[in-house]
Amino acid sequence: MSTGTGTSAGPGTGTPKALGPDAERAPRSLAETVLRVRELSIGGALVLLVLGTWLANPSFLDGQGVEDLLLNSAILVLLATGQSVVVLTRNIDLSVGSVVGLSAFACGSFVSGSDHGPVAVLLLGTALGVLCGLVSGALVSFGQVPALVVTLGMLYVLQGVGHAWAHGDQINAADVPDSVLELGSGGVLGVPYLPLISAAVLTCTAYYLRSYRGGRELYAIGSSPEAARLAGIPLRRRVLAAYAFSGAVAGFAGALWLARFGTVVADAANGWELTVVSAVVVGGLAITGGVGTVWGAALGALLLTTMGSALVVLKVNPFWEQAITGVLLLAAICADRVVRHRTTEALRKRRRP
Protein backbone atom coordinates (compact mmCIF):
# COMPACT_ATOMS: atom_id res chain seq x y z
CA MET A 1 0.00 0.00 0.00
CA SER A 2 1.07 3.53 -0.66
CA THR A 3 0.41 4.49 2.92
CA GLY A 4 3.28 2.34 4.05
CA THR A 5 5.56 3.95 1.53
CA GLY A 6 4.51 7.46 2.49
CA THR A 7 4.63 6.86 6.20
CA SER A 8 8.08 5.40 6.04
CA ALA A 9 9.35 8.60 4.42
CA GLY A 10 9.10 10.49 7.68
CA PRO A 11 12.02 11.45 9.85
CA GLY A 12 13.85 8.70 11.60
CA THR A 13 12.49 5.91 9.41
CA GLY A 14 15.77 5.17 7.67
CA THR A 15 16.93 1.63 8.45
CA PRO A 16 20.56 0.87 9.32
CA LYS A 17 22.23 -1.54 6.93
CA ALA A 18 22.99 -3.92 9.75
CA LEU A 19 19.30 -4.67 10.17
CA GLY A 20 18.98 -6.29 6.73
CA PRO A 21 16.06 -6.34 4.28
CA ASP A 22 13.64 -8.08 6.65
CA ALA A 23 13.94 -5.33 9.22
CA GLU A 24 13.65 -2.72 6.47
CA ARG A 25 10.28 -4.15 5.45
CA ALA A 26 9.07 -4.40 9.04
CA PRO A 27 8.06 -0.74 9.58
CA ARG A 28 6.23 -0.68 6.27
CA SER A 29 4.28 -3.88 7.02
CA LEU A 30 3.44 -2.65 10.51
CA ALA A 31 2.06 0.66 9.18
CA GLU A 32 0.03 -1.19 6.56
CA THR A 33 -1.39 -3.52 9.21
CA VAL A 34 -2.41 -0.60 11.41
CA LEU A 35 -4.18 1.13 8.53
CA ARG A 36 -5.98 -2.04 7.48
CA VAL A 37 -7.24 -2.55 11.02
CA ARG A 38 -8.53 1.01 11.15
CA GLU A 39 -10.36 0.68 7.83
CA LEU A 40 -11.81 -2.69 8.84
CA SER A 41 -13.10 -1.19 12.09
CA ILE A 42 -14.87 1.58 10.16
CA GLY A 43 -16.34 -0.99 7.78
CA GLY A 44 -17.47 -3.08 10.72
CA ALA A 45 -19.18 -0.09 12.33
CA LEU A 46 -20.93 0.62 9.03
CA VAL A 47 -22.17 -2.98 8.76
CA LEU A 48 -23.45 -2.95 12.34
CA LEU A 49 -25.26 0.35 11.75
CA VAL A 50 -26.94 -0.97 8.60
CA LEU A 51 -27.94 -4.28 10.23
CA GLY A 52 -29.25 -2.58 13.36
CA THR A 53 -31.36 -0.13 11.38
CA TRP A 54 -32.63 -2.91 9.11
CA LEU A 55 -33.72 -5.00 12.11
CA ALA A 56 -35.58 -2.00 13.51
CA ASN A 57 -37.14 -1.13 10.14
CA PRO A 58 -36.83 -3.73 7.32
CA SER A 59 -37.78 -1.14 4.71
CA PHE A 60 -34.37 0.47 5.24
CA LEU A 61 -32.77 -2.04 2.86
CA ASP A 62 -35.50 -2.40 0.28
CA GLY A 63 -34.74 -1.48 -3.33
CA GLN A 64 -35.56 2.19 -2.95
CA GLY A 65 -33.77 2.43 0.38
CA VAL A 66 -30.51 1.06 -1.02
CA GLU A 67 -30.74 3.34 -4.06
CA ASP A 68 -31.28 6.37 -1.82
CA LEU A 69 -28.24 5.42 0.27
CA LEU A 70 -26.07 5.15 -2.83
CA LEU A 71 -27.29 8.45 -4.27
CA ASN A 72 -27.02 10.34 -0.98
CA SER A 73 -23.45 9.18 -0.36
CA ALA A 74 -22.08 9.56 -3.92
CA ILE A 75 -21.27 13.28 -3.81
CA LEU A 76 -19.91 13.13 -0.26
CA VAL A 77 -17.60 10.25 -1.25
CA LEU A 78 -16.35 12.33 -4.18
CA LEU A 79 -15.61 15.34 -1.99
CA ALA A 80 -13.94 13.17 0.66
CA THR A 81 -11.68 11.72 -2.04
CA GLY A 82 -10.53 15.17 -3.14
CA GLN A 83 -10.14 16.39 0.43
CA SER A 84 -8.03 13.35 1.33
CA VAL A 85 -5.32 14.29 -1.15
CA VAL A 86 -5.02 17.72 0.48
CA VAL A 87 -5.08 16.36 4.04
CA LEU A 88 -2.27 13.94 3.21
CA THR A 89 0.00 16.98 2.69
CA ARG A 90 -0.80 18.41 6.16
CA ASN A 91 -3.23 20.95 4.72
CA ILE A 92 -6.99 21.37 4.55
CA ASP A 93 -9.54 22.75 2.09
CA LEU A 94 -12.57 24.39 3.70
CA SER A 95 -13.82 25.87 0.44
CA VAL A 96 -15.14 22.65 -1.13
CA GLY A 97 -18.77 23.33 -0.17
CA SER A 98 -18.67 26.79 -1.72
CA VAL A 99 -16.99 25.42 -4.85
CA VAL A 100 -19.79 22.87 -5.19
CA GLY A 101 -22.45 25.57 -4.83
CA LEU A 102 -20.82 27.98 -7.28
CA SER A 103 -20.15 25.21 -9.78
CA ALA A 104 -23.70 23.90 -9.58
CA PHE A 105 -25.17 27.36 -10.14
CA ALA A 106 -22.71 28.17 -12.96
CA CYS A 107 -23.48 24.89 -14.72
CA GLY A 108 -27.20 25.50 -14.26
CA SER A 109 -26.92 28.95 -15.77
CA PHE A 110 -24.89 27.53 -18.64
CA VAL A 111 -27.44 24.87 -19.62
CA SER A 112 -30.62 26.74 -18.67
CA GLY A 113 -32.86 26.83 -21.73
CA SER A 114 -30.17 25.28 -23.95
CA ASP A 115 -29.46 21.84 -25.36
CA HIS A 116 -25.99 21.35 -23.87
CA GLY A 117 -25.26 17.77 -22.90
CA PRO A 118 -23.83 16.33 -19.68
CA VAL A 119 -20.25 16.23 -21.00
CA ALA A 120 -20.16 20.01 -21.45
CA VAL A 121 -21.65 20.47 -17.98
CA LEU A 122 -19.07 18.21 -16.33
CA LEU A 123 -16.20 19.91 -18.14
CA LEU A 124 -17.40 23.36 -17.12
CA GLY A 125 -17.81 22.37 -13.49
CA THR A 126 -14.40 20.71 -13.39
CA ALA A 127 -12.66 23.70 -15.02
CA LEU A 128 -14.24 26.11 -12.56
CA GLY A 129 -13.18 23.91 -9.66
CA VAL A 130 -9.61 23.69 -10.93
CA LEU A 131 -9.44 27.48 -11.11
CA CYS A 132 -10.62 27.82 -7.51
CA GLY A 133 -8.20 25.11 -6.38
CA LEU A 134 -5.26 26.74 -8.11
CA VAL A 135 -5.96 30.05 -6.37
CA SER A 136 -6.04 28.39 -2.95
CA GLY A 137 -3.07 26.19 -3.72
CA ALA A 138 -0.93 29.08 -4.97
CA LEU A 139 -1.57 31.09 -1.81
CA VAL A 140 -0.79 28.10 0.42
CA SER A 141 2.22 26.69 -1.43
CA PHE A 142 3.90 29.76 -2.91
CA GLY A 143 2.47 32.46 -0.66
CA GLN A 144 3.14 30.41 2.49
CA VAL A 145 -0.22 31.49 3.94
CA PRO A 146 -1.78 29.00 6.40
CA ALA A 147 -4.23 26.69 4.63
CA LEU A 148 -6.94 27.27 7.22
CA VAL A 149 -6.88 31.03 6.60
CA VAL A 150 -6.71 30.75 2.81
CA THR A 151 -9.50 28.24 2.34
CA LEU A 152 -11.75 29.88 4.91
CA GLY A 153 -11.30 33.14 3.02
CA MET A 154 -12.04 31.37 -0.28
CA LEU A 155 -15.20 29.95 1.27
CA TYR A 156 -16.58 33.43 1.95
CA VAL A 157 -15.32 34.87 -1.35
CA LEU A 158 -17.04 32.17 -3.38
CA GLN A 159 -20.22 32.48 -1.35
CA GLY A 160 -20.24 36.22 -2.00
CA VAL A 161 -19.65 35.72 -5.72
CA GLY A 162 -22.45 33.19 -5.88
CA HIS A 163 -24.97 35.42 -4.10
CA ALA A 164 -23.99 38.45 -6.18
CA TRP A 165 -24.42 36.40 -9.34
CA ALA A 166 -27.73 34.81 -8.37
CA HIS A 167 -29.46 37.90 -6.92
CA GLY A 168 -31.77 35.55 -5.04
CA ASP A 169 -32.74 33.58 -8.17
CA GLN A 170 -32.47 29.83 -8.57
CA ILE A 171 -32.03 27.32 -11.39
CA ASN A 172 -35.21 25.30 -11.94
CA ALA A 173 -35.22 21.68 -13.04
CA ALA A 174 -37.64 22.56 -15.84
CA ASP A 175 -34.90 24.66 -17.48
CA VAL A 176 -32.25 21.91 -17.30
CA PRO A 177 -31.97 19.60 -20.33
CA ASP A 178 -33.30 16.07 -19.83
CA SER A 179 -29.93 14.58 -20.80
CA VAL A 180 -28.31 16.32 -17.83
CA LEU A 181 -31.05 15.28 -15.42
CA GLU A 182 -30.76 11.71 -16.70
CA LEU A 183 -27.20 11.66 -15.40
CA GLY A 184 -28.52 12.19 -11.87
CA SER A 185 -31.55 9.89 -12.05
CA GLY A 186 -30.56 7.17 -14.53
CA GLY A 187 -28.42 4.11 -14.08
CA VAL A 188 -26.98 0.90 -15.52
CA LEU A 189 -28.50 -2.48 -14.59
CA GLY A 190 -30.32 -0.87 -11.69
CA VAL A 191 -27.24 0.89 -10.32
CA PRO A 192 -27.41 4.72 -10.48
CA TYR A 193 -24.78 6.60 -12.45
CA LEU A 194 -23.65 8.79 -9.56
CA PRO A 195 -22.24 6.06 -7.28
CA LEU A 196 -20.58 4.44 -10.30
CA ILE A 197 -18.88 7.73 -11.14
CA SER A 198 -17.81 8.21 -7.51
CA ALA A 199 -16.41 4.67 -7.39
CA ALA A 200 -14.44 5.28 -10.60
CA VAL A 201 -12.89 8.52 -9.29
CA LEU A 202 -12.13 6.87 -5.95
CA THR A 203 -10.46 3.86 -7.56
CA CYS A 204 -8.34 5.97 -9.93
CA THR A 205 -7.20 8.21 -7.07
CA ALA A 206 -6.31 5.27 -4.85
CA TYR A 207 -4.35 3.65 -7.69
CA TYR A 208 -2.41 6.85 -8.35
CA LEU A 209 -1.53 7.32 -4.68
CA ARG A 210 -0.33 3.73 -4.47
CA SER A 211 1.40 3.19 -7.79
CA TYR A 212 2.86 6.52 -8.88
CA ARG A 213 5.76 8.50 -7.52
CA GLY A 214 3.71 11.68 -7.27
CA GLY A 215 1.19 9.95 -5.00
CA ARG A 216 3.87 8.53 -2.73
CA GLU A 217 5.48 11.94 -2.50
CA LEU A 218 2.25 13.35 -1.08
CA TYR A 219 2.58 10.90 1.81
CA ALA A 220 6.21 11.88 2.25
CA ILE A 221 5.30 15.56 2.43
CA GLY A 222 2.67 14.89 5.07
CA SER A 223 4.99 12.67 7.12
CA SER A 224 7.76 15.27 7.25
CA PRO A 225 7.88 18.34 4.98
CA GLU A 226 11.49 19.06 5.91
CA ALA A 227 12.63 15.51 5.14
CA ALA A 228 10.70 15.60 1.87
CA ARG A 229 12.41 18.86 0.92
CA LEU A 230 15.83 17.40 1.68
CA ALA A 231 14.94 14.38 -0.46
CA GLY A 232 14.37 16.69 -3.44
CA ILE A 233 10.57 16.46 -3.55
CA PRO A 234 8.99 19.60 -5.10
CA LEU A 235 6.78 20.51 -2.16
CA ARG A 236 5.18 23.61 -3.63
CA ARG A 237 4.22 21.95 -6.90
CA ARG A 238 2.83 18.89 -5.14
CA VAL A 239 0.72 20.97 -2.74
CA LEU A 240 -0.51 23.12 -5.62
CA ALA A 241 -1.47 19.98 -7.54
CA ALA A 242 -3.28 18.59 -4.48
CA TYR A 243 -5.42 21.72 -4.21
CA ALA A 244 -6.07 21.74 -7.94
CA PHE A 245 -7.27 18.15 -7.71
CA SER A 246 -9.49 18.89 -4.72
CA GLY A 247 -10.98 21.86 -6.56
CA ALA A 248 -11.50 19.80 -9.71
CA VAL A 249 -13.35 17.11 -7.77
CA ALA A 250 -15.49 19.73 -5.99
CA GLY A 251 -16.35 21.45 -9.28
CA PHE A 252 -17.14 18.07 -10.84
CA ALA A 253 -19.35 17.28 -7.83
CA GLY A 254 -21.15 20.61 -8.35
CA ALA A 255 -22.08 19.57 -11.88
CA LEU A 256 -23.35 16.26 -10.53
CA TRP A 257 -25.29 18.16 -7.86
CA LEU A 258 -27.16 19.96 -10.65
CA ALA A 259 -27.86 16.65 -12.37
CA ARG A 260 -29.04 15.08 -9.10
CA PHE A 261 -31.37 17.78 -7.84
CA GLY A 262 -32.17 19.92 -10.88
CA THR A 263 -33.22 22.89 -8.78
CA VAL A 264 -30.13 24.75 -7.54
CA VAL A 265 -29.54 27.90 -5.48
CA ALA A 266 -26.31 29.84 -5.07
CA ASP A 267 -25.51 28.41 -1.62
CA ALA A 268 -26.04 24.75 -2.47
CA ALA A 269 -23.89 22.46 -0.28
CA ASN A 270 -23.54 25.24 2.29
CA GLY A 271 -21.86 23.80 5.38
CA TRP A 272 -20.70 20.63 3.66
CA GLU A 273 -17.04 21.49 4.16
CA LEU A 274 -17.21 20.42 7.81
CA THR A 275 -19.05 17.22 6.90
CA VAL A 276 -16.35 16.40 4.34
CA VAL A 277 -13.54 17.01 6.82
CA SER A 278 -15.38 14.88 9.39
CA ALA A 279 -15.73 12.03 6.87
CA VAL A 280 -12.01 12.17 6.08
CA VAL A 281 -10.90 12.18 9.72
CA VAL A 282 -13.43 9.54 10.79
CA GLY A 283 -12.17 7.49 7.84
CA GLY A 284 -8.72 7.24 9.40
CA LEU A 285 -6.72 10.01 7.72
CA ALA A 286 -4.55 11.86 10.20
CA ILE A 287 -5.26 15.58 10.23
CA THR A 288 -1.50 16.02 10.68
CA GLY A 289 -0.94 14.40 7.27
CA GLY A 290 0.97 11.46 5.86
CA VAL A 291 -1.32 8.67 7.11
CA GLY A 292 -4.50 7.12 5.72
CA THR A 293 -6.10 6.12 2.43
CA VAL A 294 -8.90 7.40 0.24
CA TRP A 295 -10.68 4.08 0.83
CA GLY A 296 -10.91 4.95 4.50
CA ALA A 297 -12.22 8.42 3.66
CA ALA A 298 -14.90 6.85 1.45
CA LEU A 299 -15.90 4.52 4.29
CA GLY A 300 -16.11 7.53 6.61
CA ALA A 301 -18.39 9.30 4.13
CA LEU A 302 -20.58 6.20 3.82
CA LEU A 303 -20.74 5.90 7.59
CA LEU A 304 -21.87 9.51 8.10
CA THR A 305 -24.40 9.34 5.26
CA THR A 306 -25.84 6.03 6.46
CA MET A 307 -26.05 7.36 10.00
CA GLY A 308 -28.10 10.35 8.81
CA SER A 309 -30.46 8.10 6.84
CA ALA A 310 -30.76 5.68 9.75
CA LEU A 311 -31.76 8.46 12.15
CA VAL A 312 -34.48 9.56 9.73
CA VAL A 313 -35.80 6.00 9.37
CA LEU A 314 -35.77 5.52 13.13
CA LYS A 315 -37.49 8.92 13.60
CA VAL A 316 -34.74 10.30 15.79
CA ASN A 317 -34.32 14.05 16.25
CA PRO A 318 -31.96 15.36 13.48
CA PHE A 319 -30.01 17.20 16.19
CA TRP A 320 -28.44 13.90 17.17
CA GLU A 321 -26.88 13.51 13.73
CA GLN A 322 -24.65 16.54 14.35
CA ALA A 323 -23.96 15.46 17.93
CA ILE A 324 -22.97 11.93 16.91
CA THR A 325 -20.83 13.28 14.06
CA GLY A 326 -19.00 15.46 16.57
CA VAL A 327 -18.46 12.51 18.91
CA LEU A 328 -17.13 10.38 16.04
CA LEU A 329 -14.79 13.18 14.98
CA LEU A 330 -13.36 13.59 18.49
CA ALA A 331 -13.04 9.82 18.91
CA ALA A 332 -11.23 9.52 15.57
CA ILE A 333 -8.73 12.25 16.50
CA CYS A 334 -8.07 10.67 19.90
CA ALA A 335 -7.69 7.23 18.34
CA ASP A 336 -5.27 8.63 15.79
CA ARG A 337 -3.10 10.08 18.54
CA VAL A 338 -3.05 6.77 20.42
CA VAL A 339 -2.33 4.70 17.30
CA ARG A 340 0.38 7.08 16.11
CA HIS A 341 2.11 6.95 19.51
CA ARG A 342 1.99 3.15 19.72
CA THR A 343 3.11 2.73 16.11
CA THR A 344 6.05 5.06 16.68
CA GLU A 345 7.10 3.08 19.74
CA ALA A 346 6.79 -0.22 17.87
CA LEU A 347 8.82 1.07 14.94
CA ARG A 348 11.48 2.36 17.30
CA LYS A 349 11.85 -1.07 18.92
CA ARG A 350 12.04 -2.85 15.56
CA ARG A 351 14.84 -0.58 14.36
CA ARG A 352 17.14 -1.50 17.22
CA PRO A 353 19.91 -3.87 16.05
Burial of 86 (0-12, 13-18, 19+ CB in 10 A): buried
pLDDT in tens, 128-159: 999 999 999 999 999 999 999 999 999 999 99
Q: Would you place residue 19 in the very low, low, confident or very high pLDDT band (cuts 50, 70, 90)? A: very low
What pLDDT, on the 0 to 100 scale, is given for residue 347? 53
What pLDDT, on the 0 to 100 scale, is given for residue 67? 86
Query: In terms of pLDDT, which residue wins out, 339 or 263?
Result: 263
* Mean pLDDT of all residues in 281-293: 86
What pLDDT, on the 0 to 100 scale, is given for residue 185? 85
pLDDT in tens, 165-186: 888 788 888 888 888 999 988 8
Q: What is the CATH number of domain 2-13+24-351?
A: 1.10.3470
Query: In terms of pLDDT, which residue wins out, 87 or 115?
Result: 87
What pLDDT, on the 0 to 100 scale, is given for residue 16? 37
Q: 90-104, 110-124, 327-341 — which is least confidently predicted? A: 327-341
What pLDDT, on the 0 to 100 scale, is given for residue 199? 95
